[in-house]
């Protein structure tokens, strides 16, 4: 990219940041995409630089909705409604309206977190036309069907947008009532959840760069598979993680797929990201469901728009600014409360570890604290989030919002690090200070809180600032438990047009501004504390 163009894009991204900061397999009939949709897609292939081998189905599969094993009442109700809508033709009409572009339905959650009695739909909203996000609103076949379910049940719909491989655990643990994300039925999934009646038949297709002629003469899946089997590890296939296409490429016994062990398979959180890498020449092919492939490729061409038109479309027309403020608020709440909880917990941990070991109880507590610190420092944050959200908290009967869960988990994680930071700061204080406190008649706790800790905090303030900065940046993993953080909000903004450059440059700029503000605040506090020191 030429320097001038790069500077133009960068200037637009910084303008975006400034603007944002100022704006406060059953009886279901197979449903096929109308031919006019395919024709429109064919015309846009050259513009996007991607060619979809849409006439050759690599697989045949059925989509269905996932429901918790013991929730047989919901399963019967959902199956009954699907049968009713199939018989009167309204289901086919609804589905086809998204294929021919006549659908107008969109839905915005009424609250930021699900409320008691809500009908909670778990999904991954990057799979058009079945589910997608436009600003703060969700749309797609599955979203409209979920809305109709909720209306029939007399409930309010709440759309829980999460990573695709978190959907079934969310349904299993009762965090969500139903999983709706173009999900294919297989034996492994049937062991975990029940599936309602199939409502749509689909297939996987392969997409390549427009100038790639490898598969142009192929008329059957076998011919494509023979070519793929003849290629080496230098040929990279992109897939969406945990989806049928991913299993097809890697191989999966439940589906009967042998896979292509000779190739390199790269997994992405969304099919759109895989398509973007294909467009950028980073991978050689994408295997994804037919209709999402067509719609993603159709939406990827923005070359005829200026930088400011793209920004206006993403942030204003599609109301991306709403996502931004929601994500920013959640990120800062999780980081701030995580630091406060972590500091309080760190003080307790370090106090226990520094108490003179005069009896066996103190020694046992000290060992427990050591184990706690080891566990939380030795495992990734995302593992802790998934373990507690999907396993430990449900087992304990805790029914709290994902944002509050994130605050608690981040606080528990931060507590392990802050305890070690405090221990280092306390050890840096002259030992005579403790003796001086004792000589004044202070006990251990009073000496620690009145004399030692204030001096230690002054020593560790820069390190605490670094811990706060780390917490802010680590919040980018909370989307695994369906929390809209700053990173997730910009992913949603980008998903409106599949143009990633401007949102991601803006995202980096926002994080940079936050870090600079925190650093400035820490320096101001250091100067203020330094005034109390003797000259």
Mean pLDDT value of segment 406-425: 92
Residue 222: what are its φ and ψ, rounded to 5°? -60, -40
**Percent residues over pLDDT 90 in the chain:** 55
C-beta of residue 141 within 8 angstroms of C-beta of residue 82: no
Rg (CA), the chain: 27
pLDDT tens profile 229-281: 999 999 999 999 989 999 999 998 877 899 999 999 999 988 999 999 999 99
Taking a C-beta distance cutoff of 8 angstroms, is the pair 415, 341 a contact? yes
Q: What confidence score (pLDDT) does residue 422 get?
A: 87
Which pLDDT does position 302 carry in this prediction? Answer: 54
Give the C-alpha separation, 146 to 177, whole Å: 10
CA dist 522 and 344 (Å) reads: 19
**Mean pLDDT across the chain, nearest whole number?**
85
* Burial classification of residue 485, based on how many CB atoms lie within 10 Å of its CB (0-12 exposed, 13-18 middle, 19 or more buried): buried
Please give the residue that has the higher pLDDT: either 3 or 508.
Answer: 508
What mean pLDDT is predicted for residues 423-435? 78
**Highest mean pLDDT, choosing among 321-330, 412-421, 448-457:** 412-421
Residue recorded with tokens 């320097």:
3
Average pLDDT of the residues in 389-412:
90
Question: At 531, is the pLDDT very low, low, confident or very high (cuts 50, 70, 90)?
Answer: low
pLDDT > 60? residue 304: yes
Query: What percentage of the chain reaches a pLDDT higher than 70?
Result: 88
Confidence (pLDDT) at 533: 57
CB 174 within 8 A of CB 394: yes
Comparing 23-27, 117-121, 334-338, 480-484, which segment has the lowest mean pLDDT? 23-27
Render pLDDT for 20-44 as a digit per residue (tens, 0 to 9). Answer: 443 433 433 333 443 333 333 343 4
For residue 436, what are the CA distances in angstroms to 298, 358, 426, 440, 444? 74, 21, 15, 6, 11
Least confident stretch, 243-257, 313-327, 474-488: 313-327
Query: Is residue 420 classed exposed, middle or buried when 0-12, 13-18 and 19+ CB atoms within 10 A define those classes?
Result: middle
Contact indicator for 420, 439 with CB cutoff of 8 Å:
no
Identify the pLDDT of residue 43. Answer: 39
Neighbour tally for 503: CB within 10 Å? 27
189 vs 183: CA distance, rounded Å = 10
Of 493, 494, 483, 490, nearest to 160 by C-alpha is 483
The backbone region for 259, taken as left when phi is positive above 0, alpha when psi lies in -120 to 50, beta otherwise, is left
Tokens 């070519």 belong to: 227
**Phi/psi at 54 (5° precision):** -80, -15
Residue length of the chain = 535
If one counts every other C-beta atom within 10 angstroms of the C-beta of residue 36, the result is 11
248 CB neighbour count, 10 Å cutoff = 25
Tell me the pLDDT band of 11, cut-offs 50, 70 and 90: very low
Cβ neighbours of residue 56 closer than 8 Å, sequence gap 6 or more: 205, 206, 215, 218, 219, 220, 221, 223, 224
Query: Which of the two residues, 253 and 168, has the higher pLDDT score?
Result: 168
Can the peptide bond before residue 129 be classed as cis, meaning omega within 30 degrees of 0?
yes
Indicate if the pLDDT at residue 68 is higher than 70: yes
Predicted local distance difference test score (pLDDT) of residue 303: 57
């Amino acid at each position: 990219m030429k320097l001038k163009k790069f500077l133009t894009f960068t200037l637009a991204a910084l303008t975006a940041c400034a603007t944002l900061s100022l704006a406060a397999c059953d009886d279901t009939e197979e449903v096929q995409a109308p031919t006019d949709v395919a024709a429109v897609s064919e015309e846009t292939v050259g513009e996007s630089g991607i060619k979809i081998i849409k006439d050759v189905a690599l697989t045949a599969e059925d989509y269905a909705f996932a429901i918790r094993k013991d929730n047989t009442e919901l399963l019967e109700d959902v199956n009954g409604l699907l049968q009713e809508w199939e018989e009167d033709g309204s289901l086919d009409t609804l589905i086809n309206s998204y294929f021919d572009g006549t659908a107008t339905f969109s839905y915005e959650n009424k609250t930021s977190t699900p409320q008691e009695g809500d009908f909670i739909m778990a999904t991954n909203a990057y799979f058009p036309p079945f589910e997608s996000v436009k600003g703060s609103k969700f749309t797609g076949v599955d979203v409209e069907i979920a809305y109709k379910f909720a209306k029939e049940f007399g409930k309010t719909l709440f759309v829980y947008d999460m990573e695709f491989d978190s959907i079934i655990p969310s349904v299993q643990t009762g965090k969500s009532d139903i999983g709706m994300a173009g999900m294919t039925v297989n034996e492994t999934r049937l062991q975990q959840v029940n599936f309602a009646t199939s409502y749509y038949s689909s297939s996987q297709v392969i997409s390549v760069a427009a100038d790639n002629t490898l598969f142009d003469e192929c008329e059957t899946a076998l011919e494509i598979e023979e070519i793929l089997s003849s290629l080496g590890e230098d040929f990279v296939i992109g897939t969406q993680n945990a989806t049928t296409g991913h299993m097809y490429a890697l191989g999966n016994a439940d589906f009967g797929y042998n896979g292509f062990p000779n190739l390199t398979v790269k997994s992405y959180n969304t099919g759109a990201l895989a398509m973007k890498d294909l467009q950028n020449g980073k991978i050689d092919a994408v295997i994804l469901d037919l209709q999402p492939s067509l719609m993603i490729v159709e939406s990827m061409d923005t070359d005829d728009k200026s930088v400011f038109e793209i920004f206006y479309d993403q942030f204003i027309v599609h109301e991306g600014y709403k996502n931004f403020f929601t994500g920013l608020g959640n990120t800062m709440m999780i980081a701030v409360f995580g630091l406060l909880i972590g500091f309080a917990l760190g003080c307790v941990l370090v106090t226990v570890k520094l108490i003179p070991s005069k009896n066996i109880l103190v020694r046992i507590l000290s060992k427990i604290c050591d184990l706690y610190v080891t566990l939380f420092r030795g495992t990734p944050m995302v593992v802790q989030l998934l373990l507690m959200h999907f396993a430990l908290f449900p087992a304990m009967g805790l029914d709290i919002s994902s944002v509050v869960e994130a605050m608690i988990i981040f606080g528990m994680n931060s507590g392990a690090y802050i305890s070690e930071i405090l221990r280092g700061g306390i050890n840096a204080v002259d030992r005579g200070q403790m003796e001086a406190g004792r000589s004044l008649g202070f006990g251990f706790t009073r000496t620690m809180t009145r004399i030692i800790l204030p001096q230690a905090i002054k020593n560790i303030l820069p390190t605490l600032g670094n811990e706060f900065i780390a917490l802010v940046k680590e919040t980018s993993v909370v989307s695994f438990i369906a929390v809209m953080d700053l990173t997730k909000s910009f992913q949603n903004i980008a998903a409106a047009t599949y143009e990633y450059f401007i949102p991601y440059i803006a995202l980096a700029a926002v994080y940079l501004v936050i870090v600079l503000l925190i650093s400035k605040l820490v320096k101001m506090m250091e100067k203020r504390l330094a005034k109390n020191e003797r000259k």
